[in-house]
Structure 1
């Protein structure tokens, strides 16, 4: 019996492109001996779609132009029966295209287009099951301001902050600098719509703030500046399931060379090919049981509040002296799918990905079980005559 094809989609037009490649290639490798046939779908930095066997080998990405040249351009379309397929594009007069039916899509994007609901919308339009959160939850999860405001409305603790656009900064820089100074001795500048710690800086003076803000505007036109927690301890927790039924992993304490875990800490180390799995961390986190339980419970609350699905990682900021904790952000497609957090639950990487695919299929079947159309005689002859009358009255 032929295995169903799961498309592993990664890359994308995003500053986190390379991080996504790591996650996507890891997933392809983990699913090699699963009940699914996998098909790599690589989105280049220019937004073009490619598939092909060379995309499975991480070493090939060292020479990206060569890799793209040896890969096959493709598109998502429908076949003659109306089923969604990945269709390769012929590159010569005598070459033929191939079609691969899509059973489900394992979304492995990080940041910007891909994690923000845009690709999720494409899969919704084609009625394809896909892993992770839906359009709304993905969009909210990528918007740090909106996610924090929603959590605050439900009395989930968040750090004091201000947010502003590039236009605000140009027109009201002095006023904004005063507000940032009022947050305290130090603050944290963040792009609102990015992850992987890109563009994030701790600032302790006006000069540092101006530099950090203008650097962060290279990545995003909407920034957030938060009051810095000191002494800071970062604690993360993953949640798996749906808004109706989900469970939390153990907590982890990332360990970085800087006060805030940086992009370098996460990905630019001696084992960078392992992605987030290579970052230094303590699992389970060396924190009091009560604190761990409270963070796990809050993680589930946020996951449900945002109507998330599949798997997410929720990050918290903790005052190391008082153990007071604050929701920081939700990553709806975390690096390496945070598989290392589920090992303590006896779930290996392959089984975790299979469960994500199963959740996607169940959510898809649940959606399709609803009425998809509304029977009406709006386009009857009488209604059409009425539309013609409207045209004459113009």
Structure 2
């Protein structure tokens, strides 16, 4: 059986750049025995697009500057028939020629910023190539914690009390923002609105800590969120796969961190090895909670997935009051670290089969989209139409 070119896109201009590299290499390794020919599309921290075999070896990422020099610039291009290729824009060998790879599908393995917020998905839409994961709307909603919570609340999904503000608001209305936040009572959680992996997240126990946490978080994002804390807190996560109209949940997990709120280090630098990405984090799978609470969270996960127009695969994180068992939606990760394969593996769906299903969902969405009427057969620039448009210049209201 001939192999199909699967473009694995990862990296990006994001604080989660390295995490994305780990996720991509894990996925490529899992698909070694598949019918896909995995072609790396690495987006550097400065935004350059690169490809090449050296990008398939995780050890080469220890020296990023050397890796970039030894890799090949590339871009999506279309031929005269409209078919999309990943085109090498240079050659690295004396007798080698730049290659063109016909694109069968794109596996999106970005985390954060332009790779996960819908921007790259928009490029795929423009180039008319199938891609994994949520579309432009679902991706952008998932990246914006404020908008995601607004949509969730509008659909009857419980969320914690919060106040959000921009850096300009903080400069002009700091006292008012602090007063609103302090109405929730300490401790309070400070978060960048558009980042993941707990980057910039902090717990504040008094006003001084709150101000310091806000000032630190502004290093990462111009839009912040201060939320009331759930106390005593139990975090429970659940992954969902499918489409807004047809999706199913995984088993639940309980992350185990060294702090009350999981840090970047808890997620990626604990457990048995950082090279395993999110799979290395300490966690309890399945979560040691009641069947009733498990079912409640799974139902909320699929409901939220659909409400946010998510697609493909996502992980939804929930905050649970350990005493009352009240559940609050925290956030959705539309491209979760390590594709949350550790949840699906325990749900009897191995990593390679999980990725294949994720790709198939993207292919199906692409077929359905292209099966609709996508243009209106008229030429507004025809001679007759242009005359009509010219006539509008003389019209008055």
For the superposition of Structure 1 and Structure 2, which TM-score range results when normalised by the shorter chain? over 0.9
CA distance in 2, matches of 1:280, 1:10: 25
Q: Name the counterpart of 1:294.
A: 296
CA distance in 1, matches of 2:178, 2:381: 58
Post-superposition shift, 1:175?
1.1
Q: Name the counterpart of 1:315.
A: 317
After the TM superposition, which residues 205-244 of structure 1 pair with which residues of structure 2 at under 5 Å, given as runs?
Answer: 205-244=206-245
Q: 1:153 to 1:79 in 2, by over 3 A?
A: same
TM-score under structure 2 normalisation? Answer: 0.96
CA distance in 2, matches of 1:285, 1:94: 56
Q: Name the counterpart of 1:366.
A: 368
CA distance in 2, matches of 1:178, 1:346: 49
Q: Name the counterpart of 2:305.
A: 303
Deviation string for 1:354-390 (max 9, x for gaps)? 0001111111001111001112353332211223344
CA distance in 2, matches of 1:62, 1:176: 42
Q: Which moved more, 1:341-350 or 1:164-173?
A: 341-350
- Over the aligned positions, Cα root-mean-square deviation in angstroms equals 1.5
CA distance in 2, matches of 1:256, 1:359: 33
Q: Is residue 336 of structure 1 aligned with residue 377 of structure 2?
A: no
Deviation string for 1:299-353 (max 9, x for gaps)? 0000111111100000000111111110000100000000000112211111100
CA distance in 2, matches of 1:153, 1:389: 47
Are 2:269 and 2:280, in contact at CA under 8 Å, matched by a contact in 1?
no
**Which SS does the other structure have where 2:346 is aligned?**
helix
Post-superposition shift, 1:79?
2.4
CA distance in 1, matches of 2:221, 2:53: 34
Are 2:2 and 2:35, in contact at CA under 8 Å, matched by a contact in 1?
no
Q: Name the counterpart of 2:175.
A: 174
Unaligned runs of 5+ in 1: none
CA distance in 1, matches of 2:207, 2:141: 31
**Which SS does the other structure have where 2:374 is aligned?**
coil
Unaligned runs of 5+ in 2: none
TM-score under structure 1 normalisation? Answer: 0.97
Post-superposition shift, 1:98?
1.2
Q: Name the counterpart of 1:259.
A: 260
Q: Name the counterpart of 2:40.
A: 40
Post-superposition shift, 1:95?
5.6
Deviation string for 1:32-71 (max 9, x for gaps)? 1101111011000000000111111111101111111111
Q: Name the counterpart of 1:158.
A: 159
CA distance in 2, matches of 1:392, 1:181: 60
Q: 1:387 to 1:281 in 2, by over 3 A?
A: same
CA distance in 2, matches of 1:362, 1:56: 28
Deviation string for 1:76-110 (max 9, x for gaps)? 11124321101111257976321000000000000
Q: Is residue 283 of structure 1 aligned with residue 296 of structure 2?
A: no
Counting matched residue pairs gives 394
CA distance in 2, matches of 1:53, 1:161: 46
